[in-house]
Amino acid sequence: MFQQKDLIAEIPRLRRYAHALLGDAGLADDLVQDTLERALQKASLWQGGNLCAWLLTLMHNIFVNQWKRNRKIEYRASEDLPETPVAEAQHHGLELRDLKNALGQLSDEHRAVLLLIGLEELSYEEAAEVIGVPIGTVMSRLARARDRLRSLLAMDGRVQKFRIVK
């Protein structure tokens, strides 16, 4: 059985992944809370090993079963945003906004794989375990997610280079 301090230590990582997955801090906090509740309820089922991977698996299952079905994330289209002069310091924030919007346009399956490997730096094997699919499916979804993300960012004239993670 895991210790409460071990669970608390994973909260920042869970919040980061949930926020990236959902695009909204409030919804992300709700997902993290649901994940922590489920982890405490199911603590006896944890068989040791990688606690973070187990928590991310719980979070993924909650997301698929609850959030995906009941809630839609609404991103504002670029044309709905106000036109303002952009200072050099604002470019980084705008690029992050564009990346967030592009991530929101990916399918849930592609976004989840891309975030687990790119943001959380899980291996293909760990991501496959979290999502519950074969490693080949993870690799295929990751390749498709990267291609789609590149094309979405290229529409804005920003083609990004993604590093290859093994």
pLDDT in tens, the chain (166 residues): 788 898 999 999 999 999 988 888 898 999 999 999 999 999 988 888 889 999 999 999 999 887 666 655 555 565 655 555 555 556 566 677 888 888 889 998 999 999 999 888 899 999 999 999 999 999 999 999 999 989 988 875 555 555 566 5
pTM equals: 0.62
Q: Tokens for 143, please give them.
A: 């390749």
Q: Is 64 exposed, middle or buried (0-12, 13-18, 19+ CB in 10 A)?
A: middle
Q: Which residues contact 98 (CB under 8 A, 6 or more apart)?
A: 78, 153, 156, 158
Of 105, 116, 118, 93, give the one whose Cα is nearest residue 151: 105
CA distances from 29 to 5, 36, 99, 134, 151 (A): 19, 10, 21, 29, 30
- Going from the N-terminus, what domains does the chain have, and what CATH number goes with each? 1-74 (1.10.1740.10), 84-159 (1.10.10.10)
